[in-house]
Chain A
Amino acid sequence: MIQTREAEKNTALLNVDQIREDFPVLGRMINGMPLAYLDNAASSQSPRQVIDAVKLYHESHHSNVHRGVHTLSQEATSLYEEAREKIRAFLNAASLKEIIFTSGTTDAVNLVASSFVEERLNEGDEILITHLEHHSNIVPWHILCERKKAKLRVLPINDRGEIILDNLDDYLTSRTRIVGVNHISNALGTINPVKKIVEAAHRKNIPVLVDGAQATPHEIVDVQDLGCDFYAISGHKMYGPTGIGVLYGKQELLEKMRPYRSGGDMILSVSFDKVVYNELPYRFEAGTPPIAQAIGLGAAADYINSIGKKAIQNYENMLLDYATRKLGEIPQVRFIGTAREKASLVSFVIDGVHPHDVGTILDGEGIAVRTGHHCAQPVMDRFSIPATTRASFAFYNTTEEIDRLVAGVRKVIEVFDA
């Protein structure tokens, strides 16, 4: 019963009814039912504060950044740079020079692959990732390894969906040029011991890139404490707009890296004989950046801070416990991913029913979940399944919505006589 009281206390920390008022889309009806949006790990909804920041920019301040001397351009530039500062503080990076705006996590990983790893990777070298990675932290490395005749090595996971660290030292060899690991698994929700991995890799001077796409909405991310060399995030996973992400990189590494995309804004001077590249972080931001989206992302960080990471964590953990308990009462439901450290999502299968049929029937009830391989096919292969149904929770979700999910799943089982 202690748990129940704890749950009540956590709920009390958040005024969810008031929070839901901030998210216009949560008022929508889907197929005649109120939307229960449980697909936050794929993309989270934006609060009015984010939408308004983007709107205000378009209505009053839109111009190109870092270029004009006119008023609008200066306003746009300061809004864009203020957003960078908000993200710096959000990740606790040491310097603004370490915050590079990208189009998302995928773009950030590709930046590191192309500008940092490529020239350091030779035939026979190794890149180490884990079995839990999203395709975005597999494919760029696979392509690079293929081109350089290098080897992609994979840290295994156990039946709970946790990375097995026992032989980590054997995987970190004198040929390892980088380690890529996600902070939280998008498919299973496992929270990975990235700090431990960073420490082990650094003992052998191997740099580490952390895919933080799933972590920023749930975890208190402190890149200096983690000690990682690179940290990649996406705006739309943390209540911000799509088309914007961030690569955090340690300044001393970024300084030594060659440019990624090339064009305007990433240069200091250009002649046909000689190009002098711009200083950090602009060297890695060629062309007109996604200005409105960066401002929106800054507003999203503000919003998360206004609620409080700790309160968000407590509340979402309560949702996770509730969903695990309620779905666990259904004998036909089999959870995939039962890590001891887990973010607020449940991935499951119902024997005899394909997840896409589950997804369609739940949609008929106004419930949005993700069904499929979650861009993590190796994880699916590990558990010998083609796909799962995944419900992922945000701080605006409620236990009532989870009750509807559970009722929906029971309906699926009834229809399919599973």
Chain B
Amino acid sequence: MLNTHTRNLYQDVILDHNKKPRNYRVLEGHSHMAHGDNPLCGDKIDVYLTVDENDVVVDVSFMGDGCAISKASASMMTTMVKGKPLDEVNTLFREFHQMSTGKLDPDTEANHLGRLKIFAGVRDLPARVKCATLAWHTLDAALKGDRKVSTE
């Protein structure tokens, strides 16, 4: 049996996405791309997006190396933002960031996080917040046209 803190974080869904990451590939013909680094952990990630003329994310993928938290977060991010218009993607990014840093309680405050709520546990583990948010920062950077982002 795991301790409560760690059990909250290492739920089956996260372990499953870690083991079988979704949308784990280079996206050919992408319109946006950025590379993210977490120098403290050595986590590395590339996020690719194809955004159509109506500002909808029609496809998204990632590649990278990192811990289970960063990998599962990236994997679940891709499944969440696929097919969504950019304004909704930006809202998700903001809310995810707020939840991870303990500024939004997804159980009591209105939000659109849905199954991403599973990452709420990182707020109790300050050293791991950056693991969960790296993919999202990289996605944000890609959409803003920055090619590189670091969580330092």
Contacts and interface: CB of A to CB of B under 8 A. Distances in A.
Interface of A: 31-33, 353-357, 360-361, 363-365, 372-373, 380, 386-387, 411, 415-417
A352 B2 CA distance: 19
B6 A360 contact: yes
B41 interface: yes
Contacts of A32: 3
Contact of A386 (B3, B9, B42): B42
Given A357-B67, A364-B2, A415-B2, A387 B9 contact: no
A415 B16 CA distance: 11
A360 B10 CA distance: 10
Contacts of A373: 42
B2 A354 contact: no
B65 A386 contact: yes
A411 B2 CA distance: 8
A380 B39 CA distance: 14
A373 B128 CA distance: 16
A354 B67 contact: yes
Contacts, number: 54
Q: Which of A355, A364, A373, A380 has the most CB of B within 10 A?
A: A364
A364 B5 contact: yes
B3 A357 contact: no
A370 to B, nearest CB: 12
Nearest to B10: A415
A361 B18 CA distance: 15
A363 B131 CA distance: 17
B5 A416 contact: no
B41 A387 contact: yes
B13 interface: no
A415 to B, nearest CB: 6
11 contacts: A33-B3, A353-B68, A354-B67, A356-B69, A357-B69, A360-B9, A363-B6, A372-B40, A372-B41, A380-B42, A416-B19
Given A32-B3, A387-B42, A417-B19, A361 B10 contact: yes
Interface in B1-23: 2-7, 9-10, 15, 18-19
A356 B3 contact: no
Contact of A31 (B3, B40, B131): B3
Interface string B118-131: 00000001011001
A357 to B, nearest CB: 5
Contact of B15 (A354, A363, A364, A415): A415
Interface in B68-107: 68-69
Contacts of B67: 354-357
Q: Which of B9, B67, B127 has the most CB of A within 10 A?
A: B67
Contacts of B7: 364
Given A356-B67, A356-B128, A417-B19, A364 B6 contact: yes
Q: Which of B5, B6, B19 has the most CB of A within 10 A?
A: B6
Interface in B107-148: 125, 127-128, 131
Contact of A372 (B10, B42, B68): B42
Interface string B41-79: 110000000000000000000000111110000000000
A386 B37 CA distance: 13
A31 B5 contact: yes
A354 B68 contact: yes
Contacts of A364: 2-3, 5-7
A380 B9 CA distance: 27
B2 A361 contact: yes
B128 A354 contact: no
Given A354-B67, A373-B42, 6 more contacts: A356-B69, A361-B6, A364-B3, A386-B65, A415-B10, A417-B19
